[in-house]
Amino acid sequence: MIHPNTKLVHINDVVGYGLYATAFIPKGTITYVKDPLELEVSPTQMASFDKPLLDAIEKYSYKDERGYMIMSWDMGKYVNHSCDANTMSTGYGFEIAIRDIQIGEQLTDEYGIFNLEEDMICYCGAHNCRKSIQPEDFDNYYSVWDAKIIPALKTIPFVEQPLFYLVEIDIKSEIETFLSNIKKYKSVYALRHKHINKVKIEK
Ligand SMILES: [Zn+2]
């Protein structure tokens, strides 16, 4: 589920839709949690799908550490990538605002964490745009992303958390452990799928 203070906006025909903040969302706010309604597609199921379904999955879902494609039932699937994203996935599964997001600002995400199988051309326009988002970005940038995630995680207890009820109990206790001892931090690299291309999809 995506943060409730967001709305879907049609940006243009090239980019399509994007998600915008309808209220101030402070740094440290959990902006997405995988909830029980999310669609999960296994690599085996993927192998039996025809191209239109595969295209939909490719466009609207992310690959988790097990190699499953996760598609949001709500507007969460419309969050666009930015090389200077204001939200980011964490090793704890949920996504977090890594800086303050102003009302009317677009929520953006780092797709390099989504276990891409192919390069993705990027037109995000950020000052640090990588121009191409690549599968190996995860290996090359995870420590840069960790450095942005850690300060945001530290502010979790101090901001409103409308999605906190969706965070699983064992993850909540991992966060408490981290907050009392930063050395117990779980890197975003925990989301890395280690068996890319195990199931070959015919297109
Ligand atoms: Zn970019």
| pLDDT tens figures, 173-199 | 999 999 999 999 999 999 999 864 544
Dist CA 146 CA 185 (whole Å)? 9
Pick the CATH number of 6-191 from 3.10.310.40, 2.170.270.10, 3.40.50.1000, 3.30.465.10: 2.170.270.10
For the chain, the average pLDDT equals: 95
- Percentage of the chain surpassing pLDDT 70? 96
CB count, 10 Å around CB of 162? 14
114: CA distance to ligand 1 center in Å? 15
126: CA distance to ligand 1 center in Å? 6
Question: What angle (nearest 5°) sits at the alpha carbon of residue 74, between those of residues 68 and 79?
Answer: 75
- What per-residue confidence (pLDDT) applies to 203? 46
78: CA distance to ligand 1 center in Å? 16
